[in-house]
Amino acid sequence: MRISEERLALAAAATNDGLYDWDLRTDRIYYAPRWWALIGLLPDEEANGPEEWLNRVHPEDLIWLQATLDAQMSAGGKPFQIEYRIQHGRGGWRWMLCRGIAVLDADGEPVRLVGSQSDITDRKVAEEQLRISEERYALAAQGANDGLWDWRVPEGEVYYSPRWSDMLGLPGGEWVGTMEDWFALVHASDLPGLRAAFELHLSGRLDHLEHEVRIRHDSGAELWVLIRGVAIRDALGDAIRMAGSMTDITARKRAEQQILFDAFHDGLTGLPNRSLLMDRIGQTIDRRRRPDDPPCAVILFDLDHFKTVNDSLGPNAGDEVLRILAKRLEGQRRAGDTIARVSADEFGVLMDGVVDVKAAMTAAQRLAAAITDPITLVSGEELVLTASGGIAMSHTGYGQAADMMRDASLAMFRAKGAGRNRVEVFDDALRARAMSRLRTEADLRLATDRHQLTLFYQPIVRLSDQSIAGFEALIRWQHPERGLISPADFVPLAEDTGLILQIGRWAMQEAAEQLARWQKTHDSGLFMSVNVSGRQMLDDDMVECVRHVLADTGIAPDTLKLEITESLLMDDPGRAVSMMQQIRSLGVHLSLDDFGTGYSSLSYLHRYPVNSLKIDRAFISGAGNGDRREEIPRIILLLAKSLDLDVVAEGIENPSEVTFLRGLECRYGQGYYFSRPIPAPDAERLLALPALP
C-alpha cells in the first residue's frame, strides 16, 4: 500500500498535477501540497472541507463543476474530467482541468472521490487566441469576398471554399477536387504563366505566389482573378501543403483598361490620340529595317479654316463636325492602318505596307475626299470643309517616329502655303528649307541679344511741296555671315516663333527714341510710322508697351503712327477693334497698311478706329498714264476724304505718279522716287533739305 501511494505521488509530481482525496462519508478532503500550489496558496491542514475548493470556483463554472461532482457522488464508478476557472491566490483566474473517479464500497456505493487537477491556463489562452485568429481570418476572407483554397500537395487534393465556387458560378458550395480542375477554367493564354508561378514558388525560387489570370465563369463570362498562396514545407524543404485565396479583380482590371484606353485615345472622337499614333509609327519603323521591306506612310491632315466653324457656330458644332469626320475617316481605314486625332483640328494616318508614293497619294486623296463631302449638322446647318495634307514616306530612312511626324507636318504646311485643299509629299528640298528655317530661327534668337537688328528709315513726304513730314521705320537684320537681311525673310518666322513680340517692342522703342532726337534738332511736328504685326497687336501687353514708349521718350502721342494690316482685322475683328480703341485713347494714330489688297469691304471701313490709309503700291504703279487702275486710288481718296482720313500713297517711283496723286489731292507719298529706306545718319542728312528732289 505504501509503495502504491509513493508511485501515485511520483506520477502526480511528474505530471505537475495537484491531487485530492474526498472522503464522502466525512465530507473531508485531502489536498496535496501541489494542489494548493496550483492556486497560489500555502498548504493548510485545517482547511480540509469542500468549501476551500468550491468557494474559489468562477461563478459561471460552479454550476457545471457541482453537477459533475454530484453525479459522481450519486452513481460513480466512471472517470470524469471537467475544465473550469478558479481564483488564484495572487488574483485573477486560472483554468484547471479536473479529473477523478468515485471509489465504491462493497455495496457499490461511492465512498471516496479521488483525482487530480492541472493548470491548463496557457493552453486555454492559446486556444482563445487561435479562435480569435481564425475568426478574424474568416471575417477578413468574408469581407474581402475572397475564395479560399487548400492544396494537400502529396495527395493532389484541393479544398475549395463556398465563396471560391460562388465566384465562378459553380454549384454545391465547398468541394474537393484537383489543381487540374482549377487549371481547366483558366484562359489558355494565361495558363502557362500560372503554372510557372506555382512551380517557382513550390521550388522555393519565389517566397510566395501572386499571379493575375483570366478565368471562365460558369455562365461563359470571363473574370480577372488575383491568385495568392504560400506553401508549408517539411524538414527537407519540400512543399507538403499550399493554401491561399482567389480575389475577383475584374472591376479593377476593367478600370485599368479604361484608363489605358483613355490615355491613348481621344475623348471626343474615340480615335487613337497622338501618343498612340507615335507609338505605332515607332513600332512600324522598327519592323522595317531592311531595304526590301515595304514602306509605310504617315499622312497628316489639318482642317482648313476650322476656327471659323467654332467662331461662327460655336464649339459644340465644332465638336460635332470632328466626330462626323472621325467616323468618316475610320470608315476609310484599311485593316492594320491607324487613324488618329493628333490635335484640335488635325488628323494623322499611319498606312502600313504602302507600295510607293503614288499609292500613298491615292489613299490620301481618298481620305481628303471623305473630308470634303458636305456635312449636315443636327441643327440643320450644312458645311463643306477642306483639308491640307502632308505625306512622309518611310523609305527616306527614319529612326524615330517624331522625325516622320515632323516631315509629314512640314509637307502639310507646304500644302497650306500653296493654297490649301491639297496634299503634298515631303522631299529633300523641303527638308533643306526646314533645316534652313531652323538655322535662321536659332540665329534670329541670337540676333536680338547681340544687337544685330537695326532700323532703316524711309521718308514720307508732303506731295504738295515734297518736304519730309515723317518717316517709316523699317527693320533690317545685319547678319554677320549673310549680310543685310530684309524683313520679308525673317519677320514671318519671328511671327511663328513668337520672337516678334520682343522684336516689335524693341523696334517701337528704338524708332520713338530716334524720333525724339530728330524732333529736338529739326521739326517738332515730325512723325514716325512703325509697323505692328498681328500677333503683337493682339498681345495683352501691347497697350502698356505703347504707354511706356510715350512716357520714356516724351514724344507727342499723335506723332507716333502704328501701321496695321487688313488681315489683322479679319483674324480677330472684335479683339482687334478693342485694342485699337485703347491705343487711340492714348492719342496715338493708327494707319491701315496695304489698303485695297486685303479682305475688308470699303463699307466696313468706318467701323475701324484708324486715322489714315496707305494705298498699296500695286495701285500706284503706272498711275498717270491713263490706266484703268487709276480709278482705284481715286475711289480710295474720295472715301478717305469723306471719312476725314489722311492717305499715304506708297511705291511712288516716277514724277508722273507724283503729278497724278497731287492732282487727286493725296496728302502724303512714299517711295523710291524720293528715297529708299536708309540708315538713321543718312536720313538725318535728308532732314536738312527743304524738299526732296
Instruction: Work out how many domains the chain is built from and give that number.
Output: 4
460-500, pLDDT tens digit by residue? 999 999 999 999 999 999 999 889 888 888 888 888 888 99
Of the two residues 481 and 277, the one the predictor is more confident about is 277
- CATH label of the domain that carries residue 469: 3.20.20.450
Q: Are residues 220 and 331 in the same domain?
A: no
For residue 121, give its domain range. Answer: 2-125
- CATH label of the domain that carries residue 371: 3.30.70.270
pLDDT at 47 (0 to 100) = 80
CB half-sphere exposure, 518, CA atoms < 13 A: 27
pLDDT at 4 (0 to 100) = 43
Q: Are residues 391 and 359 in the same domain?
A: yes
Of the two residues 459 and 43, the one the predictor is more confident about is 459
pLDDT bracket for residue 542 (50, 70, 90)? very high
Of the two residues 363 and 608, the one the predictor is more confident about is 363
48-88, pLDDT tens digit by residue? 889 989 999 999 999 999 988 888 877 666 888 999 999 99
Stretch among 222-236, 277-291, 326-340, 648-662 having the lowest mean pLDDT: 277-291
Q: Could you tell me the three cell numbers for 561?
A: 503712327
How many Å apart are CA 627 and CA 631, to the nearest integer? Answer: 8
In a domain, 373, yes or no: yes
Q: Are residues 275 and 218 in the same domain?
A: no
Determine the average pLDDT of the residues in 416-437: 86
Q: Are residues 422 and 485 in the same domain?
A: no
Query: Of the residues 426, 460, 475, which one is the last residue of a structural domain?
Result: 426
Q: Report the DSSP pairing between strands 346-351 and 297-303.
A: antiparallel
Contacts of 278 (CB under 8 A, 6+ apart): 401, 402, 405
Residue with cell 549680310: 483
In a domain, 583, yes or no: yes
pLDDT at 9 (0 to 100) = 54
Q: Are residues 548 and 658 in the same domain?
A: yes
Residue with cell 549673310: 482
Determine the average pLDDT of the residues in 564-592: 86
pLDDT at 5 (0 to 100) = 45
How many Å apart are CA 384 and CA 325, to the nearest integer? Answer: 11
In a domain, 640, yes or no: yes
95-112, pLDDT tens digit by residue? 999 999 989 888 888 899
Q: Are residues 296 and 361 in the same domain?
A: yes
Q: Are 475 and 495 in contact (CB under 8 A)?
A: no
In a domain, 262, yes or no: no
Sequence-separated contacts (24+) of 275-278 with Cβ below 8 Å: 276/338, 276/340, 277/338, 277/340, 277/342, 277/348, 277/350, 277/405, 278/401, 278/402, 278/405
Quote the mean pLDDT of the chain.
89
Task: Check whether 457 has a pLDDT greater than 70.
Answer: yes
pLDDT bracket for residue 645 (50, 70, 90)? very high
Q: Are residues 553 and 577 in the same domain?
A: yes
Task: Check whether 319 has a pLDDT greater than 60.
Answer: yes
pLDDT at 144 (0 to 100) = 57
Contacts of 682 (CB under 8 A, 6+ apart): none
pLDDT at 298 (0 to 100) = 96
What are the backbone angles phi and psi of residue 458, rounded to the nearest 5°?
-115, 125
In a domain, 136, yes or no: no
Task: Check whether 46 has a pLDDT greater than 90.
Answer: no
In a domain, 692, yes or no: no
Burial (Cβ within 10 Å: 0-12, 13-18, ≥19) of residue 23: middle
Q: Are residues 512 and 606 in the same domain?
A: yes
Q: Could you tell me the three cell numbers for 622?
A: 503706272
Task: Check whether 599 has a pLDDT greater than 80.
Answer: no
235-251, pLDDT tens digit by residue? 888 999 999 999 999 99
Task: Check whether 604 has a pLDDT greater than 70.
Answer: no
Residues in the chain: 693
Sheet containing 110-119, strands listed edge to edge, beginning at the edge strand earlier in sequence: 28-31, 18-23, 110-119, 93-104, 80-87
pLDDT at 138 (0 to 100) = 63
Q: Are residues 450 and 585 in the same domain?
A: yes
CA distances from 124 to 35, 85, 128, 304, 629 (A): 19, 11, 6, 85, 116
pLDDT at 3 (0 to 100) = 45
Sequence-separated contacts (24+) of 46-50 with Cβ below 8 Å: 50/22
Task: Check whether 315 has a pLDDT greater than 60.
Answer: yes
In a domain, 203, yes or no: yes
Q: Are residues 472 and 420 in the same domain?
A: no
Max CA-CA distance within the chain? 162
- CATH label of the domain that carries residue 109: 3.30.450.20
State what percent of residues in the chain have pLDDT above 70: 92
pLDDT at 596 (0 to 100) = 64
163-209, pLDDT tens digit by residue? 899 999 988 677 889 999 999 999 999 999 999 999 999 999 999 99
Query: Of the residues 426, 454, 469, which one is the last residue of a structural domain?
Result: 426
Q: Are residues 317 and 465 in the same domain?
A: no
Query: What is the DSSP code (8-state) at residue 499?
Result: H
197-219, pLDDT tens digit by residue? 999 999 999 999 999 999 999 99
pLDDT bracket for residue 666 (50, 70, 90)? very high
Stretch among 256-260, 448-452, 567-571 having the lowest mean pLDDT: 567-571
Of 254, 193, 194, 201, nearest to 223 by C-alpha is: 254
How many Å apart are CA 180 and CA 201, to the nearest integer? Answer: 17
Q: Are 673 and 460 in contact (CB under 8 A)?
A: no
Intra-chain end-to-end CA distance of the chain, in Å: 158
pLDDT at 492 (0 to 100) = 85
Determine the average pLDDT of the residues in 151-159: 93
State what percent of residues in the chain have pLDDT above 90: 63
Q: Could you tell me the three cell numbers for 446?
A: 541670337
Q: Are residues 484 and 607 in the same domain?
A: yes
In a domain, 432, yes or no: no
CB half-sphere exposure, 310, CA atoms < 13 A: 12
Query: Of the residues 254, 280, 306, which one is the last residue of a structural domain?
Result: 254
Burial (Cβ within 10 Å: 0-12, 13-18, ≥19) of residue 493: middle
